[in-house]
Amino acid sequence: MTDSTQQLVLFDMDGVVLEGRGTDDTVHDRALDDAIDDRGLAVDADTHALLAGYEYDTDFVRGCDRLGIDPVEFYDRRERHSASYAIDRLKAGHRTLYPDSDAIAALADDYTLGVISNNYNSVVEFVVDHYGLDAFEYVRGRDPGVDGFYRRKPRPNYLLGCRNALGGTDGVYVGDRETDVLAARRAGLDAIFIRRDHNNDVSLPVEPRAEIDSLTALPALL
């Protein structure tokens, strides 16, 4: 546990530290096909369309009902395949860190750092280990499955878990989406919004504490 007098500086991963807005859709497509093969299911095109995509929604449940399978179990199965494929793509170099992520390590002497993402926990842990992001004292992605899906930002669950684990009472969360700003506010943190190529034109209905266009701007801002 960190010194509670030291400010927390927490980061989203996708679009902030790791290049790209998020995991490629092909990952979830391949994961769905693997989950179907696992169960030996015969799936027509209409039902396959209901099951496609990232969300656990009414279409996904309808598709599972057509097949007579448990949607919660099947969603969990597909998500675990998604996490595995996402890690394979990272190993193959399809995504890498933003160049300005080097600025994060320089904050470690003065702040307690963490990364909290809507990406799968195993993927976040892989990125931190693969790229040697040792400055992070707390690393957390979401759990695969329905429970993890419903705890995603903008819900503050995982941010609050980080605050509790680190003992911090004051801090900021750096994100690239409206959901990051909302989650930060709900967790009692200041939101810092970073502009990247994928969100340059995004209008925010909720105002963050500050906007930056590079992580190198953080030391002066903090």
pLDDT of residue 5: 60
pLDDT value at position 1? Answer: 44
Query: Scanning the structure block, which residue is given the tokens 């400055």?
Result: 135
13 and 29, same domain (yes or no) = no
For residue 1, tell me if it sits in a domain: no
If asked whether residues 119 and 42 sit together in one domain, one would say no
Which of 91, 125, 147 corresponds to the end of one domain?
A: 91
* pLDDT tens digits along 122-168: 999 999 999 999 999 999 999 999 999 999 999 999 999 999 999 87
Q: How far is CA 50 from the centre of its chain?
A: 24
- pLDDT category, 219, cuts 50, 70, 90? very high
pTM of the shown model: 0.94
In which residue are the tokens 């105002």 written?
207
Do the domain assignments include residue 3?
no
Q: Is the dihedral of CA 189, 213, 151, 182 positive or negative?
A: positive
142 and 190 both lie in a single domain: yes
Residues 82 and 185 in one domain: no
130 & 143 share domain: yes
**CA 173 – CA 181 distance, rounded (Å):** 8
Strands 112-120 and 190-194: unpaired
Q: Is 146 helix (H, G, I), strand (E, B) or coil?
A: helix
Asked whether residue 153 falls in the same domain as residue 174, the answer is yes
Domain boundary pick from 91, 116, 138: 91
User: Which residue's structure tokens are 């448990």?
Assistant: 70
Domain that holds residue 138: 8-20+96-221
Residue 27: its pLDDT value, please? 93
